[in-house]
Amino acid sequence: MAGKTANQVFGKRRQEHIVILASGDKIRHMTIRPWMAALAFCFAGVMAIGYLGATTYLVFRDNLIGGSMARQARMQHEYEDRIAALRAQVDRVTSRQLLDQQVVEEKVEKLLEQQVALASRHGRLDALLDRAEAVGELPEAGPMPTVRPGAQNKQARATGGIEAIGTLLGQNAPAAPQKTTALGFVPLTDTVADRADRLFSHMTLSLKDIEQDQIDRIQRLTSGATETAEQISGILLRNGIPLDNEKLSPSPGAIGGPYVAPQSSEPFNASLNDLDAALTRLETMRDTAKRLPFANPAPGKDITSRFGNRPDPFLGGLAMHAGIDFRSPVGGEIRSSGAGKVIAAGPAGGYGNMVEIDHGLGLTTRYGHMSRVLVKVGDEVASGDTIGLSGNTGRSTGPHLHYEVRRNGEAVDPMHFLNAGMKLTTLIN
């Protein structure tokens, strides 16, 4: 009754499904409950889904593998392209650095050649400057200073610049800050190249200034030597000295040697050649002036009788006085008025004790009335050497020095030579 009531309350109970299995005489039955059906259905669904997934995987696996390989290949190609770009950029930078270094080395080599050339020129210039100092102080041709302000430091600045470039080439200079790209590459900056260019420009200008200073000094010395030589030659010409005579310059003697092409006529060499020629001419003029009788044979002594006609002190009539007389006590020193060779020394008639000196170029000097002769025939004397002592020998009225200058055997006024000697003193000493 209760069961009926329950069925009526909760509804009619569903009948369970029973599966009957018969095998021969054996019969088996299995009740299929709902949860078992659900479980079987889930299992079948899972298996179906797994089958479908496996089938799909097998179908699309090749495509997935191919896509993955393609992506990997693209990534590898991009990486290789990136590496190739970096290598190309590094090669360009390396090539540029090598080119810059080669250019810098060529410039350094040129600067070193210029410096060596200036050093060799300085050696030639020193030799000429020594000659210029030997001939004495030369007048300046203009108001230009001997050394420009700051010129003495140009050689040091040029040398220091070459050392600085050597530091740059040796990569010892402090590195400037550099920017890094996204690829990790440090680009080449122009800092070192710019510094090297500035140093090259600075040193080139310094070397040119040094060369110009040398040329200017050579030109001033050349002008001074030429002016002095012209002044000396003018004085010599006014006194009848034959300057075109071959005896003015020493004979070169035997010369020879293999033929060598002449040096280039660049401005510096031309200036050196001009200075050499000017100094040679000046030395010749000065040597000639020092050799000829332009000095005073009795320094500090008064002239008592001049050259020309005068009353004869013994006969009273007019007579030619072939020289000039210097007041000098007995024993006063008599000096040679020029360099030369003694051709007479001893008693000579009215001259008394007389010395005659041959100075070359047809000029001779005579010193008369000596109390004592200190040289002998054949002696070589220099200008200013003591050749005897004054006295009162020969045709003389008192102690004095009779001095004559003769050109080719004929007496000329010694005052011309004494006056010229006073002008030459500042030019030849």
Residue ranges of domains in the chain: 115-174+188-246+265-291, 303-428
Assess whether pLDDT exceeds 90 at residue 378: yes
Token code pair at residue 130: 């020594």
Instruction: Please state, in angstroms and rounded to a whole number, the distance separating the CA atoms of residues 336 and 345.
Output: 13
Instruction: For residue 334, name the pLDDT band (cuts at 50, 70, 90).
Output: very high
Sequence-distant (6+) residues with CB within 8 A of 428 are 136, 232, 286, 289, 290
Helix ranges restricted to H, 312-383 = none
Contact call for residues 140 and 221 (beta carbons, < 8 A)? no
What confidence score (pLDDT) does residue 270 get?
Answer: 79
Assess whether pLDDT exceeds 70 at residue 71: yes
Neighbours of 278 (CB within 10 A): 23
Contact call for residues 162 and 203 (beta carbons, < 8 A)? yes
What confidence score (pLDDT) does residue 147 get?
Answer: 41
Instruction: For residue 326, name the pLDDT band (cuts at 50, 70, 90).
Output: very high
What confidence score (pLDDT) does residue 381 get?
Answer: 95
Instruction: For residue 174, name the pLDDT band (cuts at 50, 70, 90).
Output: very low
Instruction: Please state, in angstroms and rounded to a whole number, the distance separating the CA atoms of residues 36 and 56.
Output: 30
**Phi and psi angles of residue 390, each rounded to the nearest 5 degrees, phi first:** -70, 155
Assess whether pLDDT exceeds 50 at residue 185: no
What confidence score (pLDDT) does residue 368 get?
Answer: 94
**CA 329, 335, 336 angle in degrees (round to 5)?**
145
Tens of pLDDT, residues 229-255: 888 888 888 877 777 644 555 455 555
Instruction: Please state, in angstroms and rounded to a whole number, the distance separating the CA atoms of residues 219 and 217.
Output: 5
SS3 label, residue 87: helix
Instruction: For residue 340, name the pLDDT band (cuts at 50, 70, 90).
Output: very high
Handedness of CA 239, 245, 247, 251 (dihedral sign): positive
- Of 367, 371, 368, give the one whose Cα is nearest residue 331: 371
Assess whether pLDDT exceeds 50 at residue 260: yes
Mean pLDDT of the chain: 77
**CA 399, 389, 321 angle in degrees (round to 5)?**
50
How many alpha carbons lie under 13 Å from residue 225 in its C-beta half-sphere?
28
Tens of pLDDT, residues 390-411: 999 988 888 999 999 999 989 9
DSSP state of 153: G
Assess whether pLDDT exceeds 90 at residue 333: yes
Among 35-49, 157-171, 246-260, 261-275, the range scoring the smallest mean pLDDT is 157-171
Q: Which CATH architecture has domain 303-428?
A: Distorted Sandwich (2.70)
Instruction: Please state, in angstroms and rounded to a whole number, the distance separating the CA atoms of residues 403 and 45.
Output: 159
Handedness of CA 248, 249, 254, 258 (dihedral sign): negative
